[in-house]
Chains A and B, each alone.
Chain A
């Protein structure tokens, strides 16, 4: 008797619906085992986590704050993935967006009229992220260089570049050695909606609507779909792959750049340590779980942000070590992502049918 894994022949809607739910339940169960082993009450911990993420106005707003960069960079990643361009450089594009927005706020504030300062930062952040995304795109389009490697490597370049800035030339002289630039002038602060939730949320929702419209209704969206599904047919139909890779990465990198803009202009009001905390990588998971659907990205980003915030909260409320929260987050992601596999594959226990043999056995 053996356990085998095989491809599901007919993927059903029911399974597509049940699998994520089952994975979350399993994740919670496995997490409960871990918590129990560590000597804490699983039920109380989960309750604390849920309350910490969604239970009050304050916690909801904190969850939204974390969701905004995930939404924007997740949207960026998802549109690149649709065309089978594996952009895993959202983290670096986000960093460059933050850098450009900060640059405008710090050095051009007195040259730009106040009402135009935020729009200028917006545009600068979008362009910086886009340019950073265009490097791997251009290399792929012109020379066929693997974008996974280049986009990943550029993350380190971008992260180290902004670190250099806020530890070095841009460091606030009045900052008591704190790694960060001077604070932006007030005109460069994104308005807040409630709590720390800033207008970046509106940008994210508008961006999702825009992507949804482009993908479903436009000529360009049609090309993206065709290229993503069958690049040979796209070439046959006279579509330019190179042009589309560049255009899509312009948008993808630009959206991640806007996530950086939201962080510096909406939250920290300076370029500082803590801008690159992995949103760009989590965005990959967001895009994947949302099946690259723009509205799905918003929802998944919100839920994953809840997981992050809830995990932080239990450190405080339950007195759990930070590592425990990370383990729980990891377990949940592990099951949910693993579960996605079972939407396409199934496990089966097989017994050899008795009395039947294949020649492979006979020839042994």
Chain B
């Protein structure tokens, strides 16, 4: 299937890109053949997105050259890249919300500017989605779609523009396992038609499952390019991190203490004014991790927001350490010792343009030693930043670097470091390892387990069943804003959980503590 004799669809040679304080790409050679799915693998901050952003004209390389199908090209802007048949679905993709799927797809095309033939466009889109198995309704509005569907719109957009080099930056981070499987089949189909597909992921299983070849980056350099069939999961992990990676974490037995979080019959509305939580009740005890499993969009985000004071409950109660914090302000909830690792890192958990050190005091800037009444104490703030950067191994050029320039894994370490140092008693963590590399994932999970051992009550909201099973003590499955059942993680039956995630109520094997 892979034709290595002809010119590669993409050939990047000697690509170097420097950012202040970082060498993001260091003389990278990277080739992709037409007809192959090529996985790009590497730790957070290894330079994967940077390399792809150079290919799509978002950044310009300091050195190096790019050839497409054997022809030297000069890609100076995203428009050039589109004209050259390169399409990319970004890590944080952007679709325009108040438009329909079809409008969104033809938006930004240069040609049909005057005579916009919506009807024909819709037919073509329908044909494309049929052909590649990308189910979406062209008339639907974007805001009505799930994240997985929005991603399909992004892929259709690339196909509609005639891209034959397709780049997907961590596409599966936001997908359910089923959706990820479907995406894999779509990519196969596209490769079989002779398109070149570049696929960035942190999930080693997906590399094995979907890709023909894999290139591993470490600290801006290529460490290997291999046919996927000749690799194993642990080989890849070792290449990425440069050391052995443990896939199993030691979870010591902790005797749970008092009930810290007590949620009783909680109801709340979602963003669109529809019921998102419909009578949720559960408890979490000190030294215990309760996992909330479920398909995205079943009320998980709303649950975290109600617990942390960011969303109003319409009924029910939330007790933390016996004190009623229902519908109190975020400030009160913080003062009660509730820490929150939000799912949206740059959108909510951090202030992108502020320095790392400033972001690390986001929850504690009001208190000594950082603040003495009116003025902030810069020395204490810097010292605090130095300590946390060392303790949590945050890779940053300096504490004064704007936090938005850190890679995904390091963003998450900043949030965790801050929340763990300010929280007392309860930690609400939403997708804490989404988009993180194996090493960082391991570090985050270990941190959560340490906090558990230290007596913190942890509510872990995640769509990653493996993660939930690996570190939680009990697992509650949420479906359409209701808890379908609570099971013991150690003795959980995957099939039973799958049924509950799909909406079947199952008699719980381990009801309440």
Contacts and interface: CB of A to CB of B under 8 A. Distances in A.
Nearest to B161: A358
Given A230-B351, A236-B330, A360 B340 contact: no
A358 B362 CA distance: 47
B77 A348 contact: yes
B166 to A, nearest CB: 13
Nearest to A225: B354
Interface string B55-66: 000111000000
A37 interface: no
Interface residues of B, number: 53
A134 B350 CA distance: 30
B109 A219 contact: no
B109 to A, nearest CB: 5
Nearest to A346: B77
Given A9-B58, A240-B331, A360 B161 contact: yes
Contacts of A1: none
A142 interface: no
A294 B83 CA distance: 45
Contact of B330 (A230, A238, A359): A238
A236 B354 contact: no
A10 B405 CA distance: 13
B353 A229 contact: yes
B376 interface: yes
Interface in A331-364: 348, 350, 352-353, 356-364
A229 B348 CA distance: 11
Contact of B331 (A217, A221, A238, A356): A238
B334 interface: yes
Nearest to B374: A218
Query: What are the 5 A-B residue pairs with the smallest beta carbon separation, nearest first?
Result: A359-B162, A238-B331, A238-B330, A358-B162, A360-B111
14 contacts: A4-B79, A217-B378, A218-B376, A219-B371, A229-B354, A233-B348, A236-B330, A236-B348, A353-B83, A353-B84, A357-B162, A358-B161, A360-B161, A363-B120
Interface of B: 58-60, 73, 76-80, 82-85, 109-112, 120, 124, 160-162, 308-310, 329-335, 340, 342, 347-354, 358, 362-363, 365-366, 371, 373-376, 378
Interface of A: 4, 6, 9-10, 217-222, 225-226, 229-230, 232-233, 235-240, 348, 350, 352-353, 356-364
Nearest to B68: A356
Contacts of B76: 348
Contacts of A358: 82-83, 85, 109, 111, 161-162
Given A221-B376, A238-B332, A362-B162, 19 more contacts: A225-B351, A226-B351, A229-B352, A230-B348, A233-B347, A236-B310, A236-B342, A236-B348, A237-B362, A238-B309, A238-B329, A238-B334, A239-B331, A240-B331, A348-B77, A358-B82, A360-B161, A361-B111, A364-B111
Contacts of A357: 162
A232 B348 contact: yes
Contacts of A4: 79
B362 A233 contact: yes
B162 A360 contact: yes
Contacts of B378: 217
Given A358-B83, A361-B111, A236 B340 contact: yes
The B contact surface, by secondary structure, is: loop
A226 B348 CA distance: 11
Contacts of B112: 360, 364
Contacts of A219: 365-366, 371, 373-376
A6 B79 contact: yes
B375 A233 contact: no
B161 A352 contact: no
Contact of B85 (A222, A226, A229, A356): A356
Given A238-B329, A238-B334, A360-B162, A232 B347 contact: yes
A110 to B, nearest CB: 39
Contacts of A232: 347-348
B185 to A, nearest CB: 22
Contacts of B335: 238
B363 A238 contact: yes
A232 B352 CA distance: 12
Contacts of B353: 229
Contacts of B358: 222, 225
B79 A350 contact: yes
A6 B57 CA distance: 12
Contacts of B340: 236
A362 B59 CA distance: 29
A10 B17 CA distance: 12
Contacts of A229: 351-354
A238 B332 CA distance: 8
A359 B73 CA distance: 20
A360 to B, nearest CB: 5
A6 B77 CA distance: 8
A30 to B, nearest CB: 29
Nearest to A222: B365
A232 B332 CA distance: 17
